[in-house]
Amino acid sequence: MKQIIIIMSIISMLFGTTSQDSAIKVLAPTEYKTQIEKGKVQLVDVRTPNEYQSGHIKNAQNIDFNAPSFASQFEKLDKEKPVYVYCRSGMRSAQASKKLVAMGFKEIYDLRGGYLNWK
The mean pLDDT value of the chain amounts to: 88
Summarised one tens digit per residue, pLDDT across range 83-94 is 999 999 999 999
* Percentage above 70 pLDDT, the chain: 82
Rounded Cα–Cα distance for residues 85 and 73 (Å): 14
Rounded to two decimals, the pTM is 0.82
Rounded Cα–Cα distance for residues 63 and 45 (Å): 6
Q: Which of 54, 34, 40 is nearest to 111 (CA)?
A: 34
- 111 HSE (CA, 13 A, CB side): 29
Dihedral over Cα of 67, 112, 89, 61: its sign: negative
Summarised one tens digit per residue, pLDDT across range 51-67 is 999 999 999 999 999 99
pLDDT classification of 4: cutoffs 50, 70, 90: low
The yes-or-no verdict on residue 39 having pLDDT over 80 is yes
